[in-house]
Amino acid sequence: MLLQQQGSRVEVARPQVFSGKMEEVSAFVNMVQLYIRMKMIEKMEATQVAWVLSYVQGGIAEAWKDNLLDELAKEESEVESAEQLFAKIRNDFREISEEKRKIEQLRTIEQGGGPAMSMYRSSKRLPGGVAIREDLSSKNSKGD
């Protein structure tokens, strides 16, 4: 049960940890929004943002959070409220998911008798400033 009435006190389920999977974004954002509205509405925006970030752990989300925390410490982030953080999570993790989808599409394309991925090399920055370097040709080469 999501909400339980206990006298005049309402209990709200805490959100699950968010690891950066696109399929978890909406549920995570909805749950933290509900929790903030029910339990933290009187808290300062910075406290709400920090609380939400405490549930961003593991996977690609950990590096994303580290970059955002660095930006916040340097006062270089556009995130000043929980609502702005929710928009950033939705936007950034949609972009990461789209990038993964494109890479998967490349893996299925045949070019010149071999997979297109054997020719794909990239150096990119993910949303939030996470740098990645991939040499996917070595992952897909046969017998090298």
Instruction: Give the distance, in angstroms, between the CA of residue 39 and the centroid of all CA atoms in the same chain.
Output: 24
pLDDT at 22: 85
pTM score of the predicted model: 0.63
Domain count, the chain: 1
Give pLDDT tens digits for 106-131.
777 655 445 555 544 444 455 555 55
Give 97 or 22, the one with higher predicted confidence: 22
Q: What pLDDT does residue 123 have?
A: 45
Average pLDDT, stretch 43-64? Answer: 94
Query: What residues make up the domain containing 72?
Result: 3-140
E-strand ranges in the chain read 3-6, 9-12, 110-111, 114-115, 121-126, 130-135
Q: Which residue has the higher pLDDT, 39 or 121?
A: 39
pLDDT bracket for residue 105 (50, 70, 90) = confident
Q: What are the C-alpha distances in Å from 26 to residues 50, 64, 83, 93, 98? A: 19, 17, 13, 11, 16
pLDDT given for residue 49 in this prediction: 95
